[in-house]
Amino acid sequence: MDLKTLRKKHPSFIYQNFSYRVKKDNLEIVFDFLLEPDIRFFPKITIKRIDKKRLEKIGQGILENFIFHLGLIEIPSYWKAAAPAKIIIKPGFLNKKQLNWWKNLIIKGMGQFFYENRIDWRKKDFLKIVSQGKKTYPVFVKELKNRYLASFSGGKDSIVALELLKKQKKKVNLFLLNPSRFAKKALKATGIKNPIIAQRTIDPLLIKLNKKGYLNGHTPFTGLLSFLAVFSGILFDYKNIAFSNEKSANEGNLKYLGKIVNHQWSKSSEFEKSFREYALEFLAKKINYFSFLRNFGELEISKMFLRYPKYFSSFTSCNKAQKTGKRWCGNCPKCLFVYSSFYPFLKEKELLKIFGQDIFENKKLLPVLKKLFKKELSKPFECVGTKKEAKKALLLSLKKAKKSGKIPYLLKRIEKDLLLSSPSA
């Protein structure tokens, strides 16, 4: 179905309500969304092992403010099905500043979705967010314990952030959302015994609609993680909420309708600053949300990660493989970039042990590899390093391969392009 038909059929998206309860020490939250006229969504979030006494201390109003905001950050995942011209917010009041913030999040955070579905977001009547709720919620103003809650995915970046925090003798715990079996394995290697775990359940109706031709695409997922991690910080008494987003995330992928589209926008410095300000004003006055790896690039982080071989058998950075229960698919831009960033620094045996194959021998990946480092090509929609970092990693890989006397297929095919462009690297 095309956008025009969908928007005519579904004129508004309404955030109707939320509900919550504590069941067996878990905080269970359900949101009620309506895609007018008749499609209802009930997404769920569960935060495990809640301290009921802590909930009482926090108070109902604070609790509901955070839950209300979790519903707001869930909206893009369901709104995108038909991208209606109006979003109506009913469970709480949002002022003009907040409404502008949320519209900015959708316009910038959904750039990839707009590009892939050929949507022109610039039209004056494209999106209006209306606050119909009368209820205002209090902001959390109390002091929090000066300890660290680090978002953890089981990937190399979150592992490096954790190990650096431990090295600095910080009191640190981990926050995980829907941990995969590999994330659980990496978690075991960290030695942290009581992590904070949340479960997010997407309404299956959304998947059914996608199959029927409703729209689908990328949403600002790190934005959702940020709201959830800050909420967990309040629930479990942690002042410092540490993410592992790096400076490479600031580089966009391509230009669409005069705007830079960045797959990693919600990992960027721009989002970090914007969310930090929003959280301090509307969520918790004393929270400290930041990215611990912001000053590092992906290549630097890869080199740091290789100091921790205890994670080699458990970590994964491939999103596609995890859906199929594997560690690495060996066919995506993420696998290729991570492999490139490890290749110069590891022995062949270690690389094979981690990835299960020599990814530089995968002939199908040649077009992808060129996109990783060639300036004139758009960067793949994945969490990969900058063009400059990819070029540097590949030059180092080529140097190592030449020294060994065995140049893998992909490096051989790009050698000329790489060397021609290396002076500006």
Q: Is the pLDDT of residue 425 over 60?
A: no
Distance (Å, whole) CA 94 – CA 309: 48
For the chain, percent of residues with pLDDT exceeding 70: 99
The answer to whether 89 and 15 have CB atoms below 8 angstroms apart is yes
pTM score of the predicted model:
0.96
How far is 142 from 349, CA to CA, in rounded Å? Answer: 53
What confidence tier does 422 reach under pLDDT thresholds 50, 70, 90? Answer: low
| Band of pLDDT at residue 424, cut at 50, 70 and 90 | very low
E strands, 126-167, are: 128-131, 148-151
Predicted confidence (pLDDT) at residue 28 exceeds the cutoff of 60: yes
Sequential DSSP letters for 187-241 = HHHHT--S-EEEEEE--HHHHHHHHTT-------HHHHHHHHHHHHHHHHT-SEE
For all residues of the chain together, what is the average pLDDT?
Answer: 95
Q: How far is CA 290 from CA 92, 140, 158, 271, 282, in A?
A: 27, 18, 13, 11, 17
How buried is residue 117: exposed, middle or buried, by Cβ count under 10 Å (0-12/13-18/19+)?
middle
d(CA 177, CA 194): 14
Q: Name the nearest CA neighbour of 166 among 175, 174, 176.
A: 174
Taking only the tens place, the pLDDT of each residue in 96-112 is: 999 999 999 999 999 99
Q: Has residue 330 got a pLDDT over 90?
A: yes
List Cβ neighbours of 320 (8 Å cut-off, separation of 6 or more): 329, 331, 332, 334
Distance CA 391, CA 409 (A): 17
> Does 114 score more than 50 pLDDT?
yes
pLDDT digits (tens, 9 = 90+) for 277-329: 999 999 999 999 999 999 999 999 999 999 999 999 999 989 887 777 788 99
pLDDT of residue 50: 96
pLDDT digits (tens, 9 = 90+) for 252-268: 999 999 999 999 999 99
Give pLDDT tens digits for 368-382. Answer: 999 999 999 999 999
